[in-house]
Every structure is written in structure tokens, then in C-alpha cells.
Structure 1
Amino acid sequence: MNAALLIIDVQQGLCEGDHAAYACTDVITRINVVSAKARAAGRPVIFIQHESTGGYLEFETREWQLAQGLEVVPGDVRVRKSTPDAFLLTELEALLQAREIGELIVCGMHSEFCVDTTTRRALALGYPVVLIEDGHTSEGNAFVSAPQVIAHHNVTLAAITSFGPRVRTVTAAALQFETP
């Protein structure tokens, strides 16, 4: 099945300061492993960038930029979004259809917001999803630690059966692409 890699919201403003996501540097390293595998297999790498209309993550600010250390090459695609759903009010679905993509590989930030919402929407649209279980992260919150949020979403998303297509979890190291 023709797959595309979605790298969701791995942006500088989410990787620094008091509210930095958990283990950003390690997660970015694993995302770079996955994106290198995708490129080597000829699969599209799509960077999704969240933006606000003012303040935090405002378009083209330093915080909005892709995170330091994230490997981006010519030919990678960028999609701007303004909601947790990377499909809502964006060109993502049309881009996937034009490239005849049938499966999505998902990683990024934050597990409980944009990764979760985009994954569920992908399932609703008929896309099976491979969730990189060690390639998404969260800040956590006052009630649940970031590692707990990550573990919860790995289990919860993989348990969803109602859409038809399923989520399969795999580590960055174990991910393999079928040869075309």
C-alpha cells in the first residue's frame, strides 16, 4: 500500500521553554530515522505546521518554524493548519488523493491533541494508520505525566475498531516499508 509520513507540529515553540514537550530531542531523532526510511522508500514526507492568528505559533514566527534538529529536504511537503485536525480546512486530503496514498504513518506533537485528532480523522476517511509509538510526545498536564499520555494514546488509538481501518503501533527502529 502506498504510504505517506505525516510529521505533525514538530515546531520550535513546542520544544522549548517551560512548556516544552517531553523528550523532544529524542523524539526528533526517532522522527528523523522514520523520515529517512520514508524518503529512501520513495514515500512522501509531509510536515504539518500548526499556526495561530496571533501570539503563540503565529505564522512565520520563530516558534512556528519546524524544530531545530528536524531533517527537512527539498521535495518534502508542508501543510499549514489552524485546528488539531490536519485535514480540516487544509489541502491534506486532496494532496493524499492526488498521490494515491492509501496508508498514513503518523508521528509528532502533541499526542493528546493534534496526533490523536488527525489519527482519528484519518481512520474516519478510510486511511489505515501506523502510529510511531516512540515518535510522538506531549507536555503532559497536572493530572497525567507525558509518558502516561504517550502510553495511553498508543493503547487507545490501536484499540479503535469502529472506523474499519485500524491503527497499528510500531517503533521508529522497527518501521519497514514495503518495496514498490
Structure 2
Amino acid sequence: MGSAVLVIDVQQGLCEGPGAAFDCAGTIERINRITVGARHAAVPVVFVQHESGPGYLEHGTRAWQLADALVVEPRDHRVPKTTPDAFHRTALHELLQRLGVAELVVCGMHSEFCVDTSVRRALALGYPVRLVADAHTSAGNAVLSAPQVIAHHNATLANIASFGPRATPVRADELRFAAA
């Protein structure tokens, strides 16, 4: 049983405008390096795409599309979702089981919402997670800057032990995939 890369909500609407996430270009560049390495090692890549109602990531709109700079291959998988949890009311868990996935490598947007919720759910479902510490991002909020949100989630998710499996932060340049 192997790994899969889970790329959460790297969508155009989260990368542009006044609410754009921090360091989108750098984050996407690191995600692209990760997915290229994964594909080279025959590790599945899964893009999770949030869809909401009118005005925010509405299905089919430019904002809903995967980010322009993101490298997506035809063999990659896509999973639509409507909540912060990439597993809730989606086919993600079934897809991962069918692919024989036992561990997840997680990156994407936003650290404090969909990344956090999906990592916690993955742990609850029994998946150890390698959280790519410099390949998830946030727009920040009124209390914490985006870098503070990212650092907070790297530390917090790594300290959750109650599920059994753990989340381990790893930098993109330290991430390695064993050939399948």
C-alpha cells in the first residue's frame, strides 16, 4: 500500500484579488514540484476542488477552476467537495481505498479551513499524513498573519496524537517518494 498526494482547493478564485492567499505563486511552484515527483514515482495525485453557491467558487466559473499555474495531468484524479472536509459526502475515501493508498501527502489552500479539516479527517480514517509545511497557505485573518496561520497549523496538526496516525510536517524540498 502506497501514498497519494492530495492537493486541496488550489483554485483560481483563491489566488487572485484582495482575498488571495499568501505566496500563491511560490506555493503552487512547490506543489508542482511535489506532483511531478509523485507522478514520476507512480504515486497518484488527487486534486480536490471546492464548489459553492453563487458568488464564491461557483461550479464552472473562472474562480472555481484549478489555478492557472497548477500543472494537472490527464491521469490525475479530481474530487469535488462542498464542505471544508475533502472526505465528507465525497468519493475520496473510496478512491484512496481502490488505489491502495495507506498514507497521504497533503498540500493546498486554506490552511485553517479545508487543509486542517481534511487532515484531521484523514487521521481519523487511519491515514498517516505528511503535511507539506511550505505548500499549504492561507489569506490570514484579523488576528493572525498568513505565515502565522501556516506555522500554527504545522505545529498543531503535528501534535494531534489521539487518532493514532500522525501528521508529520515536511518541507517540499525534503519530500521523497519511493517508486511504486
TM range (shorter): over 0.9
Q: Which residue of 1 aligns with 2:29?
A: 29
TM-score, normalised on structure 2?
0.98
CA distance in 1, matches of 2:178, 2:28: 24
Pairwise CA distance, 1:54: 2.0
Q: Which residue of 1 aligns with 2:122?
A: 122
CA distance in 2, matches of 1:97, 1:24: 31
Unaligned regions of 5+ residues in structure 1, if any?
none
TM-score, normalised on structure 1?
0.98
Pairwise CA distance, 1:68: 1.2
SS for the counterpart of 1:5 is: strand
Unaligned regions of 5+ residues in structure 2, if any?
none
Structure 1 counterpart of 2:162, which letter?
S
Q: Which residue of 2 aligns with 1:95?
A: 95
Pairwise CA distance, 1:53: 2.5
SS for the counterpart of 1:173 is: helix
Pairwise CA distance, 1:26: 0.4
Matches within 5 A, 1:19-98: 19-98=19-98
Pairwise CA distance, 1:137: 0.2
Structure 2 counterpart of 1:29, which letter?
E
Choose 51-60 or 35-44, whichever is displaced more.
51-60
Per-residue CA deviation, residues 134-163 of structure 1 (Å, 9 max, x unaligned), is: 000000001100000000000110111000
SS for the counterpart of 2:46 is: strand
CA distance in 1, matches of 2:74, 2:144: 38
SS for the counterpart of 2:174 is: coil
SS for the counterpart of 1:43 is: coil
Pairwise CA distance, 1:179: 2.9
Pairwise CA distance, 1:15: 0.3
CA distance in 2, matches of 1:8, 1:169: 16
SS for the counterpart of 1:20 is: coil
C-alpha root-mean-square deviation of aligned residues, in Å? 0.7
Per-residue CA deviation, residues 25-65 of structure 1 (Å, 9 max, x unaligned), is: 00000000000010001011000000013221000100000
Structure 1 stretches of 4+ with a deviation exceeding 3 A read none
Pairwise CA distance, 1:80: 0.3
Structure 2 counterpart of 1:44, which letter?
P
Pairwise CA distance, 1:93: 0.5
CA distance in 1, matches of 2:179, 2:167: 21
Matches within 5 A, 1:85-164: 85-164=85-164
